Structure formats: structure tokens, C-alpha cells
Amino acid sequence: MDSTAGSLVEEYSFLIENLKMTHPTELVNLNIKVRYHFVSNLSDSAYPDFRDIAEDIQDFIDSYPEKSDYWEVINKRLTLLVLDTYSELQDVTSEMEISPSKEDPYYSLSVVTRKR
């Protein structure tokens, strides 16, 4: 089989469940689904380990400095971190699900896609 036949689009996704973040004064539960496409012609040895990306996201959430930022701003900065850190990715989408809290009694979802 010819490995160059046709066009190739590779996508990978994973889910990080039950991340905790103080926002702005109470602990909130987050589920973050991350989906990305790889750049074209990526060598077999160049694929990033998704666990490294997940760990970077967890560290980002744990150390996020501005607790009062809107979820959309946090998610936008998260996608920037991932795309800046992993040149093997063509684009990244982060779906951040925010569980209800005392201050905000609604489930909410922020979806951000960032492309090179």
C-alpha cells in the first residue's frame, strides 16, 4: 500500500476529568476535552505524548494567576499554551466544562479552537 496515496488528516483527543480550580473564591470542578490535529508529514518519532500535554494543562490550571478571569479567557490562554509548546500540532480545541457552583448555579461550556 502506498503511504502517500490520498490526503491524511490525523486527530487525537483526550479528556481530563475533575480538575479543581478556585474561581474566583470557591472551588470549581472542570472537565476539559482536548482535541488536536497534527501537522502534515509528521515523522513516526515526532508525535507528542498526550500525557505531557495533559500534565501541562493541569499545571496551567493549578497555577493560573488571575482567579477572576472569565472562563473564555482562561480557555483561550490554555489553547495558546498548548499550541506554543507543541509545534507538532496544527490546531487545538479545548472544551472546558464548568460544573455549577454557589456563585454560578449553571453548567457551562467554553469551546476554543486555535490554529497555526
Is residue 6 situated within a structural domain? no
- Pairing relationship of beta strands 27-38 and 89-98 according to DSSP bridges: antiparallel
- Buried residues in 11-24 as b, exposed as e (16+ CB within 10 A): eeeeebeebebebe
Distance CA 107, CA 99 (A): 5
Is residue 68 situated within a structural domain? yes
CB-based contacts of 48: which residues, under 8 Å, 6+ apart? 86, 88, 89
**Domains of the chain: total:** 1
Is residue 97 situated within a structural domain? yes
Is residue 101 situated within a structural domain? yes
38 phi/psi in degrees, rounded to 5: -90, 155
Structural domain including 81 reads 11-115
Q: What's the pLDDT score for residue 22?
A: 92
Is residue 109 situated within a structural domain? yes
> pLDDT tens for residues 42-85?
999 999 999 999 999 999 999 999 989 999 999 999 999 999 99
The enclosing H or E element of 102 equals none
Distance CA 34, CA 52 (A): 13
> pLDDT tens for residues 2-19?
456 679 999 999 999 999
> pLDDT tens for residues 97-106?
999 999 889 9
CATH for 38:
3.30.1130.10
Is residue 2 situated within a structural domain? no
Is residue 96 situated within a structural domain? yes
